[in-house]
Amino acid sequence: MNGDFMAATLHDVARIAGVSIKTVSNVINDYPHIRPTTKQRVLDAIAELDYRPNLSARSLRSGRTGVIGLAVPELSLSYFAELADAVIRSAERHGVTVLIEQTGGDRAREVELLTSPRRQLTDGLIFSALGMDSDDSEYLRVGYPLVLLGERIFGGPTDHVTMRNVDAARAATEHLIALGRRRIAVVGAHEGEVIGSAGLRLRGYREALEAAGIPFDPALIGYTTLWHRSNGADAMRALLASGVDFDAVFGLNDTLTLGAMRVLQEAGLRIPKDVAAIGFDDLDEAQYSLPTLTTIDPGREEIAETAVRVLLERIASTDLALPPREILADFRIVERESTAHAAA
């Protein structure tokens, strides 16, 4: 239509509408005191020129970008993909965009990311830490709004949204105990870890055993370094090879559990008859495995929703001294076939 490819600016709109650029800016920013006729003229001009504000200029001037960052270990891990999905949806409802970064769960990269120049592209960051731990807490004292997810650091200097790992893991274990299982194997523990998802979930497991008067047997604990599907499979193979006797397995997340179930079935064991199984995360996948997987819904949607809301509140707030908040999402057990009562 038009040979000129330059995007329209406030000046162009102002010229067409016969007002100053500041009036156009005011119209765009919903400044209240504008005569309706003037406003209409400006809106017409905006429509005519198909004007769009230059976001770089706006953010240079105002210091806000309208973008929030989301740092996760790896998108190819379903949990984080589904988390990212939820965060993006929630951000969209609030009119902001999400910039995703992957850390690979590597501590050095996590630390680096916190001070990367890329942070300038965002007004704040939702940060799912996997490699850092409580000793690194001071790195979180950054100059921008930061909401922490995950279980690696508690009591840090920032807002923290997370799940009830211990309670949920205890509930999961109690669920197995209620089925009459007493020899409950664990898949995905991390050697010597007391904090972090693995450490906390293992704690919940031990609490449930203790409450039921079942002795803790270290031989039942399957350790892994990562929480990929293959790690669950490997850990289960090791348990089977060790010859230890068990009638249930608590996988510290769904992915691990699905890998472990695969190995159990290969070995000719029936789920839940010989070995009952429960996972953690409530991935979409858990409802289509064979058998379908009983699991913990840790409140992922709620976590995403809350993290975005809290972050945007921080961004909007002028009160920098607002004390950090610790927010826990509700969990629930999702019962499926892998813990169904044996039909006689």
Partner DNA sequence: ACGTTTACCTACAACGTTGTAAACGCGTCG
Partner DNA sequence: CGACGCGTTTACAACGTTGTAGGTAAACGT
Tell me which residues touch a copy of itself (CB under 8 A).
Answer: 5, 52-57, 59-60, 65, 67, 74-76, 78, 81-82, 84-85, 88-89, 92, 97-102, 117-118, 120-121, 143, 228-230, 233, 258-259, 261-262, 265-266, 284-285, 287-290
Residues 205-244 that bind DNA (CB under 7 A): none
Q: Which is nearer to DNA, 60 or 178 (CB)?
A: 60
E-state strands within 43-117: 67-72, 97-102
Least Å distance, CB 214 to a copy of itself, is 30
Q: What's the one-letter identity of residue 142?
A: V
Answer for the pair 168, 155: CB distance below 8 angstroms, yes or no.
no
104 sits in the region (left: phi over 0; alpha: psi -120 to 50; else beta) called left
H or E, element range at 184: strand 184-189
Tokens of 241: 């090879």
User: Alpha-carbon dihedral of residues 262, 266, 267, 270, nearest 10 degrees?
Assistant: 70
Q: Which is nearer to DNA, 32 or 155 (CB)?
A: 32
Q: Which long-range contacts (CB under 8 A, 24 or more apart) does 56-61 make?
A: none
Applying CB under 7 A, the span of 8-16, 156-164, 238-246, 325-333 interacting with DNA comes to 8-16
Quick check: 29 binds DNA (CB under 7 A)?
A: yes
CA distances, 236 to each of 51, 197, 222, 309, 326 (Å): 60, 19, 7, 40, 35
DSSP 228: S
Least Å distance, CB 55 to DNA, is 8
Least Å distance, CB 57 to DNA, is 3
**Partner touching 262 among DNA, a copy of itself, none, CB below 5 to 8 Å by kind:** a copy of itself
Q: What are the residues binding DNA (CB under 7 A)?
A: 6-7, 9-11, 18-23, 25-26, 28-29, 31-35, 37-39, 51-54, 57-58, 60-62
